[in-house]
Amino acid sequence: MDLLATKNIVLTILAAVFTFLQMKLTTIAKPATPTIPGAKAPDMGKMMGFMNIFMVFMIGSVVYSMQSGIGLYIVVTTLFSVIQYTIQYKALLKVKFNEWRNKGQNVVIEK
């Protein structure tokens, strides 16, 4: 792989996929939304959904237009981040998978 070449489509696709996975994993554990008394809270779900899609296209365009070395760096660091989140949220991912498999029914997970 020529690390100084540009427009590497394979790295672009890998960067977009790993960025999407990273965004999905970071939104699994929902942080508490701060509330202001008397103020209407914005719909954070819609904003996060738009940001996830926008970030994938932004990272894809950056990797496609920059040199392959920078794209390789982004792919590797995002891959390590996905692995880290997968290890960190292992139990939560298992619960989410079982809920998806059982169509939203509450499921008890044993250790």
Domain presence at residue 66: yes
Domain presence at residue 1: no
Domain presence at residue 37: no
Closest by alpha carbon to 78, among 93, 56, 61? 56
Domain presence at residue 22: yes
pLDDT over 90 at 58, yes or no: yes
Whether the CB-CB separation of 68 and 5 falls below 8 Å is answered with yes
- Average pLDDT value for residue range 70-83: 95
Cα–chain-centroid distance for residue 47? Answer: 14
> Has this prediction a pTM greater than 0.85?
no
Domain presence at residue 4: no
Closest by alpha carbon to 16, among 68, 84, 86, 78? 78
pLDDT over 90 at 64, yes or no: yes
φ/ψ bin of 85: left (φ > 0), alpha (ψ from -120 to 50), beta (otherwise)? alpha
pLDDT over 70 at 14, yes or no: yes
- Average pLDDT value for residue range 27-38: 69
Domain presence at residue 14: yes
Domain count, the chain: 1
**pLDDT of 97:** 79
**pLDDT of 96:** 80
Bigger pLDDT: 65 vs 27: 65
Other CB atoms within a 10 A radius of the CB of residue 16 amount to 21
pLDDT over 90 at 71, yes or no: yes
Domain presence at residue 38: no
18: domain range? 9-29+43-101
The encoded tokens of residue 14 equal 């890998």
- Average pLDDT value for residue range 38-54: 76
Which band of pLDDT confidence, cut at 50, 70 and 90, is reported for residue 108?
low
Domain presence at residue 49: yes
